[in-house]
Structure 1
Amino acid sequence: MTDRLPPIPVFTRRRAGVLLHPTALPGCHGKLGLHARQFVNFLVEAGMTVWQALPTGPTHPDLSPYQSLSAHAGNPALIDLCDLIEPGLVAEASLKEPRHQLLASVAERFLGGRYTATPQMNPEVWQQFVSDHASWLDDFALFMAIREQVGGSNWTDWPEPLRKRDPAALAEFVRHHSDTVERVRVEQFLFHVQWRALRQYARDRGVLFFGDIPIFVAHDSADVWANPELFKLDQNGQPTVVAGVPPDYFSPEGQHWGNPLYDWSAMAAEGYRWWIARLNSQRELFDLLRIDHFRGLQAFWEIPSEAPSAANGYWVSGPADDFLSACFESLPDLPLVAENLGIIGEDVEQLRHRFRLPGMTVMQFGFDGSPTNPHLLHNHQADDLVYTGTHDNDTTLGWYRSLDKPTRDHVNRYLRVSGADQAKHPWPVIQAAMGSVSRLVIVPMQDLLGLGSEARFNTPGTTENNWSWKLPDNYQQLESTERMRDVVQLYGR
């Protein structure tokens, strides 16, 4: 299971891709089977060669992929149960059963050998997977099993022997709950089998996968529970300082994210082992990886945990060159993109350029009236990526409709749109992005379908109605793939 697909550099040619998180695909029995393959076919018909997803880890109840229960694991909610019918792990009639109950039955059948083995899924491959991923899989399976038994509470609220990972207490727990622990491990195996099959299906059709890595991890995660010495925590496991960003034009009070901060000295002392393993895990899944909040590697905003506001924080130097050098020394072909959006200092850009990492521009961010705005088409760089919008923005149509008249007129003038053509938005923005000198353009699926604010995926700073938008079942009929392919080919992508 550790044998990766041969690396294919993304930036060797001009490409176009689509941003769509797999959770937004149609289907009620999982996403990594038929519906994902159909989406790959859709991309091929549209001339797209990159599929970008958000982080694919298991989520908390708020569904945010940026606050995962693990930096390594896959989200078992994505496992397609229908694809488990043919090998005999699922009976079609049982699909109406609760998913959790059905996955428990799948694990029991799999571990008992009551299925039809395939080259991708058999006892030998299973044992190899468990062995190859033991460095994170064992802790994650134990973490999830305990969490399930205590009603889903944060690990800092667990009984002290389990919270502090007392070996005798953990061994005793496994003796009583081995079925749950094994179920979690089987779920991860099935996720990886299906993801690898989907990635091969996509690659056979010329489509590459683009992933996303949040710089910080959730406090309530297997990673922090299993490695408390690598984070700034007190003796009870609570963060002493947390992550966020300072007040700025977009957020007068700043943002208080609450993620625990790394003890970078401890990380450095062990050669950044934890981070390199994390990057390696994601390298198994994707051809290209974005580091979210890249600026935090140069300097990060540290907020005392007892502080009432993000404004009480302060800047602390990050590991910068030392960290990236260690990563590339261990993983020479690591294909990273730096998320450099927002207010970014020259020191951050210099760090990015020293390691030749592509950055990002977003068409929606270009129209503040300044001709030197880096997001404007004429200021783009060939080695960077251009987006019409991101998962944190309104859809491009929703954004355009929300603009005041002077800004809307400025957008139309810049894009040379007038008269009846104004009703064709967001396509003038999409076409402009396709014409950029940037080698890779990414368009959110909502923009390709011309959807408005009702299709927004996330609104930062809010906790309701996020991460839940679903692609309409008839999405393939909502917009012509021929139209998409024409504009892709027009600009040599």
Structure 2
Amino acid sequence: MTTYRWPRACGLLLHPTSLPGPDGIGTLDGHLEQWLDFLAAAGQTYWQILPLVPTGYGDSPYAGLSAFAGNPLLIPSETLVELGLVARQRLHERPPFSEQSVDYGAVITWKQRLLAEAFERFVAAAPDAWRADFEAFCAAEADWLTDYALFRALKDAHGGRAWHTWPPELRDRKPAALEAARRNLSAAVASHQFQQWLFFRQWQRTREACHRRGIRIIGDAPIFVAYDSADVWANRELFKLDAEGRPTHVAGVPPDYFSATGQLWGNPLYRWQRMADDGFGWWLARMRHLFRLVDVVRLDHFRGFAACWTIPADAPTAATGRWVKTPGRKLFTAMRRAFGVLPIIAEDLGVITPDVVALRDAFGFPGMRVLQFAFGGDPNNQDLPHNYVPNAVVYTGTHDNDTTVGWYASRPGVGSTRDAEGIERERAFCRAYLNTNGAEIHWDFIRAAYASVAHTAIVPMQDVLGLGSEGRMNLPASERGNWSWRCRREDFTASAAKRLRELASLYGRLPGSSVSD
């Protein structure tokens, strides 16, 4: 079996929404170039991102309105001006957005208004070459774009309500009703297609800018999709739904480090046998699409490809679920047959059983190690660096963790199930293991990750900056204040890049240093 050749390397985790810039949210503009220059100066090989999808209620990139579409909020307003689709004076009317966090409601209102104006100008005066490119894009992406654009137009027409509340003929996708909707909402459908055209043009330029600097992008594919998404509405037969389109069982995880009652995600579960019967066509299309956008894919909740925690849809918490086996081996065999080499990272956190390990190792996927999980047990803890294997990706923390400084200063009941005694025991073990007084605990973690035998080390940008819990990206099982953190223009400092590069050089992680076997 041919496997992906992993270099001994390092990278930084920063979602594009966290980039600085004037639009109230990070966008794919000039500040992105500044970020990429920082990555290159810091000796990084990888830029890891979260899912690029358009988000729904809660603004989570893990609950997107489509597994295929891009988030139009990432389109820079400056680009719309440069293309002649929006008057420059409109940018002077931009609201006074915060530079440190995303106010999604305000950003969405502003950006949707600009995109609507841009579409009107495009319809009225776009050059023939642009129209031809747009039409070619719509044709090439029709397998997902046609349903997605209609889904978004219908959702807008129904006040943003979830698709299962629409009139039954639209909910159930009756052909006559869909054809009438396409006619009546043709402008709105075309507008959403236009936004996707703009996004993918911009992302292609982003990927090219990365590759010019020798930077590879690690993308993220959640195993599940949101219930209120074009994917579920357009492919009901692939999900465990009742006759009216409501989930019968939903996804989550059992009680764990993050929550005493588990996490009730609410995503509908797949009808895996139905997917297997057609050769996993939906999954292959999804992964083919993603491999065109990124260089490596992190498969979120990898253990779900061996068995899923299945929760009755009416259950109040995730604690009443049960494990149900899934055909991951058949799926990855189909992927290998379709794509050959699979540059995939297995997010194998949580309750990991022998079947998950066997599935991961059968395809040569590296698993994950998280330093914040290393100090709660004894010297046999697999997250301690001396227990790593080379075929692994080590993180100081993930988007679901507190920052390293926040973790070190944590208190009982704040983002974890640990008590005061357990927290202090972890801190003491951490200090002894890393031979530190904790004054620069974030750099101690970075050094430990870089020094390990794991072929890849990834650090969230918040840990480079030494931020406390104010820099946390997401607190699992919470509904407010997530996904909004942003860095500032002045954070991409030469001193931070120099310090990272020195560590990358010291531990053989500079680009071109070596290749892991």
Do the two structures share a fold, i.e. TM-score over 0.5? yes
Identical amino acids, percent of aligned pairs = 48
User: Does the CA contact (< 8 Å) of 1:11 and 1:439 recur in 2?
Assistant: no
User: Does the CA contact (< 8 Å) of 2:388 and 2:452 recur in 1?
Assistant: yes
Alignment of 1:247-266 (within 5 A): 247-248=255-256, 250-266=258-274
SS in 1 for 2:85: coil
Task: Classify 1:369/1:275 alpha carbon distance in 2 versus 1 (closer, same or farther; 3 Å).
Answer: same
Task: Classify 1:93/1:302 alpha carbon distance in 2 versus 1 (closer, same or farther; 3 Å).
Answer: same
Aligned to 1:141: 149
Alignment of 1:285-324 (within 5 A): 285-324=293-332
Structure 2 distance, partners of 1:400, 1:370, is 18
User: Does the CA contact (< 8 Å) of 2:258 and 2:476 recur in 1?
Assistant: no
Alignment of 1:239-278 (within 5 A): 239-248=247-256, 250-278=258-286
User: Does the CA contact (< 8 Å) of 2:256 and 2:350 recur in 1?
Assistant: no
Q: Offset of 1:113 from its aligned partner?
A: 4.3
User: Does the CA contact (< 8 Å) of 1:293 and 1:339 recur in 2?
Assistant: yes
1:412 is the counterpart of 2:406: no
Structure 1 distance, partners of 2:260, 2:452, is 33
Aligned to 2:456: 440
1:90 is the counterpart of 2:102: no
Structure 2 distance, partners of 1:217, 1:210, is 19
Q: Offset of 1:190 from its aligned partner?
A: 0.7
Aligned to 1:53: 49
Moved more, 212-221 or 170-179: 170-179
1:465 is the counterpart of 2:481: yes
User: Does the CA contact (< 8 Å) of 2:259 and 2:477 recur in 1?
Assistant: no
Structure 2 distance, partners of 1:113, 1:386, is 51
SS in 1 for 2:336: helix
SS in 2 for 1:426: helix
How many residue pairs get aligned? The number is 478
Q: Offset of 1:249 from its aligned partner?
A: 5.7
Q: Offset of 1:14 from its aligned partner?
A: 1.3
Which of 115, 126, 147 is matched with 1:114 structurally?
A: 126
Q: Deviations over 1:187-230 (max 9, x none)?
A: 00111000010110111011110011110110000000000000
Alignment of 1:82-231 (within 5 A): 82-95=78-91, 96=93, 98-114=110-126, 122-231=130-239
Aligned to 1:6: none
Moved more, 301-310 or 287-296: 301-310
Moved over 4 A (4+): none
One-letter identity of the residue aligned with 1:90: V
Task: Classify 1:267/1:373 alpha carbon distance in 2 versus 1 (closer, same or farther; 3 Å).
Answer: same
Q: Offset of 1:398 from its aligned partner?
A: 0.9
* TM-score normalised by structure 2 residue count: 0.89
User: Does the CA contact (< 8 Å) of 1:88 and 1:116 recur in 2?
Assistant: no
Aligned to 1:15: 9
Alignment of 1:394-433 (within 5 A): 394-402=402-410, 404-418=423-437, 422-433=438-449
Which residues of structure 2 form unaligned runs of 5+? 95-109, 412-422, 510-517
Structure 2 distance, partners of 1:287, 1:429, is 26
Aligned to 1:5: none
Task: Classify 1:479/1:390 alpha carbon distance in 2 versus 1 (closer, same or farther; 3 Å).
Answer: farther
Task: Classify 1:15/1:248 alpha carbon distance in 2 versus 1 (closer, same or farther; 3 Å).
Answer: closer
Q: Offset of 1:80 from its aligned partner?
A: 1.1
* TM-score normalised by structure 1 residue count: 0.93
1:377 is the counterpart of 2:373: no
Structure 2 distance, partners of 1:247, 1:390, is 19
